[in-house]
Structure 1
Amino acid sequence: MPHTPHGQATTPRQLFFQTAEQRTALARQRFFDEGTRPSGLVGEAVIQSWLRCASARQRPGDMVSFEQVTRSRAHASLNRNRQLLQAGNLELTHMEAALAGTDCRVLLTDAQGVVIHATQLPPTSQQPLLKTASRVGVNIAESHIGTNAPGIVVRTGEACTVTGAEHFFQCLQSIHCAAAPIRDIHGQLAGVLDVSIEAGQFHFDAASVVGMYATTIENRLLQLQSVEHLVLHFQASPTLLGTPMEALAGVDASGRVLWLNGAARRLTGCRMEGRHMVDEVFGTTLDRLLALPRQSQVQTQHLPNGLGVWMKGSLTTRDGADFKHGVAVSRSAPPAPVEPLSVATDAPEAQAAPIAAAMDAVGDAVSQATLLDHKQRLIETTLAACGGNIAKAARALGVSRGMLYRRLQKARVPESP
């Protein structure tokens, strides 16, 4: 046993700790009692959060109150985040069903940390803290309840897990939470998805689960926000299209790439710093990409970095019309060649020759068209192929007659000099 110079025995300092709980306890001792930085014992995101809380003169022994924001602010947050809630509607249901056999609760917050969706707990729930927190309008930002996973994501924009004693306030140390960000088409934080459990631990990889659902919600949100944009769907394997691993990109009428989701940035190597056109990101021209919604088959494309991807496109208007339905009837002949894109599967058999002719006419003109021209040409040529019959043309395009009337009237109104 080591001795002091005066011969007094000292307790050996334990250098290694077997459990995360032991490491966190030592981290709290060093940070709160000794005033030293507990690097390596807890994550850097937690340390930074502790520093922010301490700077705000919060004290670990204080009690926390899960207070709701004012009714007007809660109402404003719900209105402001309607698209986020719409994007998450199905996935939140699926996530809660997947977690139904656990004691976990799902929270969705806005970009400021105000809860806009929460799993409803039964009256007999033995989770008093989560029962109080799981209410629409409760502010769980770091400034209100100290260190917690969704609060850290709001501050940093990065996924985070906070377990037990990693919470700044001692009264919250029975909670474990994992959260992930959801971003919009501008790359800004739109919301935070969180899964939490009280008086227990995660018995699965909560960070992976919440990350997968957050990615799916983000992909849906990006597409909802991309009216009047050409949306490209691509991946290195066609089996990944339509999954959370799908790469997505939004292109405007001038051929500028407006946004890329995380998978798309990784595949293209483009970090969206500055203005990027489709030719530099995808190695092809806008007119060739505009042909994708007219194709009934997934296409292949080589990116400028040499990677080959499988790609398809969709085009939705502000009034909700999805023009891929209009072009789906063009099946009497294979699509017009669009180099360097190549057909990946066999074309279906003929179904509607008159509309097919109209689509071919659009295909011939696409090289001259912008994104908006493309949609208007599609309407006009389909209407011509249907002999001017509005009802027939609307059915072919998969839209209502009223919507078609409105678009035709808008196109016929001369612009002011």
Structure 2
Amino acid sequence: MPQPASQRARTPQPLFFQTPDQRTALARERFFEEGIRPSGLVAEAVLQSWLRCCSARQQPRDAVSFEPVSRSRVHASLSRNRQLLQAGNSELGHMEAALGGTDCRVLLTDAQGVIIHATDLPQAHDQPLLRAASRVGVNIAESHIGTSAPGIVVRTGEASSVAGGEHFHQCLHNLYCAAAPIHDIHGQLAGVLDVSVEGGRFPFDAAAVVGTYATTIENRLLQLQSTGQLLLHFQASPTFLDTPLEALAGISPQGRVLWLNGAGRRLTGCHMEDAPTVDSVFGTSIERLMDLHRQKRIQTLRLPNGLGVWIKGRLSGGDGADFNHAVAVEGLPAPSPGPQDHAHKAHTAATAGAVVDAPAAVVLAPSPATRATLVDHSQRLIEVTLAECGGNIAKAARALGVSRGMLYRRLQKSASQHAPASTLGEAQSGDASA
């Protein structure tokens, strides 16, 4: 005997679906037509974005316009994000080369969601949405185009993926995107890296790919913004140094930890509430960390939390001068032999594929000549090099790898603060005789 229509209407729908698209379709039906929260059918970040779009009185059937913002705003965004573009210059090229065999496009936005870099794919004739969206100056923030991966990252600062029907607007259901944040040294969102494709799902793990490249760009940006700081590179394995997996930290001349990247926060357990001291985060003094730069080699360090790490340091001048190479200038004190030699050999073996034991103890040894601040340390390099060159500014500048003008400014500043006025005059006369 057939069931009455009223009973058939109450027949429960199946709880499990075979494809993600079926689950997304059910989520949209429950959310937009029945007003039921479809928890578990779509990611919570997507659901929260739908709620924000509804609160902003957007409608799923609305058309989306990919019109650029004003010329003045585009110019301001490009100017304001010069360092971000510089940090991403090579990595964006590498990423686009890696994706060259696909129909994916790479987008880089500023912190407000305005595109400042986009892949040009003239051969992709079947991507009308991406052709319209992938232009410098187009605003793809949530407030303009509804739910999308870059829009969610702009709003939340967390990596996100949005597939097909998870986009709020129905006209965007052919798009699939994955995006990851890029942060600056203040921990604020600096930009968003996104990879998008139209007409089908990614044939690879797009979230992992975009996350790796975003981390690399972020690390480069952090280093560009860290002039006048001691930059530390460290990791639990030496093979992870100089890779996207390395931990980074910026140290002030006063021995404060100014910033840590994500890997650095995870390794140290420090959440950077109030610019902690190097002693509390790294369990050692600024003098010993300065020795990393002077000795120009990898060493081992036991963190206060008990974790052993491999670590190296680089000093960059506040005016942009990088004195990292200057440690090899003849006449500078040579690194004293000791346990750090074992660390250096172990690192060499590790990079060659050999098994290396984890660091067992702090082997950083302070040099008697190490100064307490970054400023004093770089100034001492200048003074020693200048003495070795007989006071000749031109020779000293070549040895340090900086311009004579920069060296003059450093000497003039030091002379005005510490030295008699005749010191600089003698140095300049020595340069004139070159």
Q: Post-superposition shift, 1:390?
A: 1.7
Aligned to 2:233: 233
What's the offset of the Cα at 1:208? 0.3
The answer to whether the Cα contact below 8 Å between 1:164 and 1:174 also exists between their aligned partners in 2 is yes
State, as a whole percentage, how many aligned pairs show the same letter.
71
Once residues 392 and 416 of structure 2 are traced to their aligned partners in structure 1, the CA distance between those partners, rounded to angstroms, is 21
1:375 equivalent to 2:378? Answer: yes
**Structure 1 length as normaliser, TM-score?**
0.91
Instruction: Give per-residue Cα distances to partners, 1:90-110, cap 9 Å, x unaligned.
Output: 000000000000000000000
1:47 shift after superposition: 0.2
Aligned residue number for residue 388 of structure 2: 385
Matched to 1:250, the amino acid is G
Can you list the C-alpha shifts for 1:364-386, whole angstroms capped at 9, x where unaligned?
332x4311111111111221122
TM-align CA RMSD: 2.3
What letter matches 2:343 in structure 1?
A
1:197 counterpart SS class = strand
Rounded Cα–Cα distance in structure 2 between residues aligned with 1:277 and 1:381 = 29
8 Å CA contact 2:331, 2:388 repeated in 1: no
Q: Distance in 1 between matches of 2:207 and 2:333?
A: 48
SS in 1 for 2:47: helix
Contact 2:153 2:179 in 1 (8 A): yes
Q: Note the residue ranges of structure 1 that are not aligned, 5 or more in a row.
A: 348-361
Matches within 5 A, 1:212-227: 212-227=212-227
The Cα of 1:319 is off from its aligned counterpart by 3.0
Q: Report deviation, 1:414.
A: 4.4
Structure 1 partner of 2:264? 264
SS of 1:413's partner is helix
Give, in whole Å, the separation in 1 of the partners of 2:298 and 2:167. 48
Closer, same or farther in 2 for the Cα pair 1:394/1:363, shift >3 Å? farther
Q: Which runs of 4+ in 1 moved over 3 A?
A: 1-12, 329-334, 336-339
Aligned to 1:26: 26
The answer as to whether partners of 1:226 and 1:250 remain within 8 angstroms in 2 is yes
Q: Find the aligned partners of 1:8 and 1:127 in 2 and give their Cα distance.
A: 42
> Retained in 1: the 8 A contact 2:281–2:303?
yes
Rate the CA distance shift 1:384–1:199 in 2: closer, same or farther, 3 A.
Answer: same
When the two structures are aligned, how many residues end up with a matched partner? 399
| TM-score, normalised by the number of residues in structure 2 | 0.87
1:345 is the counterpart of 2:348: no
- Alpha carbons 1:250, 1:259 under 8 Å: kept: yes
Alpha-carbon shift at residue 3 of structure 1 (Å): 4.7
Partner of 2:62 in structure 1?
Answer: 62
The verdict on how the C-alpha distance between 1:60 and 1:108 changes in structure 2, with shifts beyond 3 A counting, is same
Partner of 2:430: none
Question: CA shift at 1:344, angstroms?
Answer: 1.5
Counterpart of 1:354? none
Kindly tell me: are residues 337 and 303 of structure 1, through their superposed partners in 2, closer, same or farther at Cα, counting changes over 3 Å?
A: farther
Classify the secondary structure of the residue corresponding to 2:368.
Answer: helix
DSSP-derived class of the 1:344 partner: helix
1:82 aligns with 2:82: yes
Q: Which position in structure 2 is the counterpart of 1:285?
A: 285
Q: Which amino acid aligns with 2:47?
A: I
Q: Deviations over 1:119-154 (max 9, x none)?
A: 012065221110111111000000000000000000
Q: Against the structure 1 CA distance between its residues 9 and 103, is the aligned structure 2 distance closer, same or farther, given a 3 Å change threshold? A: closer
CA distance in 2, matches of 1:98, 1:16: 36
CA distance in 1, matches of 2:124, 2:42: 34
Q: Is the 8 A contact 2:237 2:309 kept in 1?
A: yes
Could you say if the C-alpha distance between residues 97 and 281 of structure 1 is closer, same or farther in structure 2, counting changes exceeding 3 Å?
same
Unaligned stretches of 5+ residues in structure 2? 347-365, 419-434
Alignment of 1:326-365 (within 5 A): 326-329=326-329, 335-336=335-336, 344-345=343-344, 363-365=367-369
**CA distance in 2 between partners of 1:263 and 1:22 (Å):** 37
Deviation at 1:249, TM superposition (A): 0.1
Report the counterpart of residue 15 of structure 1 in structure 2. Answer: 15
Structure 2 vs 1, CA of residues 70 and 389 (structure 1 numbering), >3 Å: closer, same or farther?
same
For residue 412 of structure 1, report the CA deviation from its aligned partner: 1.7
